[in-house]
Amino acid sequence: MPAEKVLFVCVGNAGRSQMAQAFAERAGLEARSRGSHAESQLHPEVVEAMRELGFDLGDRVPHQLTREDVE
């Protein structure tokens, strides 16, 4: 059975969708996150909050949503 694939999308890809991707990956899903207007870096408070929950998002960067992502 193929792995479940999930795409999380938000505006900046600097917070919610990055957090959702991390939780999905921990649950064993193949996940990506993108933004409709991607920012240059994750929000520092997101990185800190996720660190408190045992996730290291320090090396992640926002990604712009593309047509290929949706297809």
pLDDT at residue 58, as a whole number: 95
Residue 27 pLDDT? 95
CB 8 within 8 A of CB 33: yes
Domain tally, the chain: 1
Under-70 pLDDT residues of the chain: 1-3
* Three-class DSSP category at 46: helix
In this prediction the pTM is 0.90
Q: What pLDDT is stored for residue 71 in this prediction?
A: 82
Q: What is the CATH number of the domain that holds 51?
A: 3.40.50.2300
What local confidence, expressed as pLDDT, does residue 1 receive? Answer: 56
State which residues form the domain around 42.
5-70
